[in-house]
Amino acid sequence: MENLASLLKSHKLSQADYEHIVQILGREPNLVELGVFSAMWSEHCSYKSSKKYLRGFPTEAAWVIQGPGENAGVIDIGEGYAAVFKMESHNHPSFIEPYQGAATGVGGIMRDVFTMGARPVASLNAIRFGDIRRQDEIGKKHRYLLKGVVAGIGGYGNCMGVPTVGGEMSFEDCYNGNILVNAFTLGIAKSDEIFYGRAEGIGNPVIYVGSKTGRDGLGGAVMSSDSFDDAANQLRPTVQVGDPFAEKLLLEACLELFKTDYIVGIQDMGAAGLTSSSFEMAGRSGSGMIMHLDRVPMREQGMTPYELMLSESQERMLICAKKGYEEKVLEIFRKWELDAEVIGEVTSSGKMELFWHGEKCAEIPVLPVSEEAPMLDRPTKEPAYLAEIRSKGAQAPKEIDLKEAFMKLWSAPETMDKSWVYSQYDSMVQTNTIVGPGGGDGSLVRVKENGAALAMSADCNPRYCYLNPREGAKLAVAEAGRNVAVRGARPLAITDCLNFGSPENPEVMWQFAEACEGIKEACKVLLTPVVSGNVSLYNQTNGVDIFPTPSIATVGLLPKAQKALLGAFKKEGNLLLLVGETKSEFGGSLYQKEVEGFLGGDAPVIDLHRELALWRFLEEANEAGFLESAKDVNVGGLAIALGKMSVLGQKGCKVKTALKGVDLFSESPSRAVLEVSSEHLAALESLAQKGDVALGVIGSVGGENLEIDSLSLPLQTLQEIYLRGFAKIVENL
């Protein structure tokens, strides 16, 4: 091939990769073949740097129907129904083009869910930006990015009629050059009607359905597998363009198709488009495939086989149908005004054979591409910064005026209500939302089919993970699960989105390896297997890596929806109890960031067995009817948790603790605030003793002030800041 060095560079392939390709093919590749290998062996598609560390994740349990390896994970939720869910990143595209990047991230994760046969019923997002309070170009840019991302998420989700029921946001300087946009969707299906991404049965037709293919998103998977520099805007053509109205038609057409017996398998055309969908379907079955690329519906003139294989145009699926049912499949999609064409068939050759107007333009063995991508063993090295920042935060925090400290934390973007964001999302469509965005902690949706409810939450504290990736990852798993547990639900499984810097940096690979070990340990003890997930590396700009950010989304089951537990004060005179133990732990805390102005020390250390005991205690206490409301204690500590319960319930409280000063803002894990009627106190204390859970009365609900030890603040003042402060920051008022 001419200009080989230049071609390999543009395709992010090494000389060793090229020699491997030649060995597989037994000859030099042509441009189409090179493009296919480039996409399938990209970091985004092949997980070549991360695969080594993902092995060993707990993935099985009695309630797990499908673990990692398919479009989404599936768990049993009782009475013949299943929850199908996954979380994925769309970081690079959203930094380049925030509206379309975020919108197509939402569209892609929804397709991952409904291609399994499930109707999407809820979405979450975890989005992270630089400091939007800055009055400089960086602050201005991140306010713009935030507005674009939120509009994209809302625009796509609202058009699809899928409620966005919650999420999380954080703001750190490390995201100045790489924002994170992680999208989660959950769907409901009958547990015996799950569809898989397979192409098998010699002679069975391969059918393309959905929107026409264009040049948008061309090379997106390769783009997302590299670091940024100042020329990132030049990558705008690699960002996909979404059409939620076409996706809504595709959803309904697929769900109609799933009621028939016409197909063998179905696969979303996500990253790497037609390449990944065809190779993955054939690879899972050990079969081959013939595809006639000139039959692919196109919306642009002069498209080439290379472009057709690598385009990431949205709202497309690839179907393996049963022979003889082609017309019936086509009829369904055409009824929904979607393109649908038979473009190939399954073979026994074990090869992908591509034709262009009758002439073969590529022939590639399937398994080496889809199942045998290079697995790299990159060097790891403990980061040099750790010794310095851990010693920096070893001293106890300075004692300052509690009111001043509280107001600094209460006014932080991380704390304040995000109604400016979630008011742009339709959270009530489908009429199943019990707890939506703004309700605090986990979200809750009713499952009409069996009378249960599903709780879900996304969480990660990147500051903890920067200080201690292993403990930070454990804390993320625990926090996401605790947010579900305070709704009265039992956490059952997680999906993850592992966002890290450049894998070419040994310190980043050390962070990744440590975080994976933390997830493994936490999921094993907490009985929440990993059923799906995503890895996003190369979140680096101009040599600056993001903090390790292993976002975790947990799904839990509440067998009776009417038992839903909320996080706002309900009744004056009720008692307030604190569950769990508080220690002076401030490494990576909001107090350290907002009051002390630095990051240092070590992340809190979690006892996972105590965490599990807390979950089971909450579940039993709620089932017995002992609890009026419950709130996780996390960012900002006990004081901020009580403040949120007061504001959400529009009732004050009077609390006296044995804590000393700033320990009110400690972020020790495995804690919750409970509101109970005095008549249930003795039974609750007995239950806590049986479960070996620390429990103590700290006060009562009532009054017009938030009163905690020497701290006293009018509820009206707190409401004004909490409910309106974030909008003022975003609009730069």
CA distances to 222, 237, 273, 313 from 218, rounded to whole Å, are 9, 7, 9, 8
- Of 244, 265, 240, nearest in space to 254 by CA: 265
**142 is a catalytic site residue:** no
Are the C-beta atoms of residues 37 and 47 closer than 8 Å to each other?
no
Are the C-beta atoms of residues 222 and 11 closer than 8 Å to each other?
yes
Euclidean distance between CA atoms 390 and 395, whole angstroms: 10
What residues does 493 pair with on adjacent strands?
A: 555
Provide the pairing of β-strand 653-655 with 695-701.
Answer: antiparallel
In which region does residue 307 sit, left (phi positive, over 0), alpha (psi from -120 to 50) or beta (all else)? alpha
| Residue of 20, 44, 92, 680 marked active site | 44
Are the C-beta atoms of residues 206 and 267 closer than 8 Å to each other?
no
Query: Quick one: three-class SS letters along 515-582?
Result: HHHHHHHHHHHHCCCEEEEEEECCCEECCEECCCEEEEEEEEEECCHHHCCCCCCCCCCCEEEEECCC
| Residue of 20, 90, 92, 680 marked active site | 90
For the chain, report the end-to-end CA distance as a whole number of angstroms. Answer: 58
Locate all alpha helices (DSSP H) within 11-136, ordered by sequence. 15-25, 31-40, 43-46, 51-54, 91-96, 98-114
Provide the pairing of β-strand 81-89 with 164-171.
Answer: unpaired
- Residue 483 φ then ψ, to 5°: -60, -30
- Of 508, 561, 618, nearest in space to 77 by CA: 561
Are the C-beta atoms of residues 13 and 37 closer than 8 Å to each other?
yes
What residues does 445 pair with on adjacent strands?
A: 433, 454
Euclidean distance between CA atoms 590 and 463, whole angstroms: 9
What residues does 433 pair with on adjacent strands?
A: 445
Burial class (CB in 10 A: 0-12, 13-18, 19+), 573: exposed
Euclidean distance between CA atoms 524 and 518, whole angstroms: 10
Are the C-beta atoms of residues 117 and 191 closer than 8 Å to each other?
no
Which residues, 6 or more positions from 561, have their beta carbon under 8 angstroms from its beta carbon? 434, 446, 447, 451, 452, 453
**How many CB atoms neighbour CB 132 within 10 A?**
22
- Of 306, 307, 318, nearest in space to 361 by CA: 306
| Residues identified as active-site | 44, 90
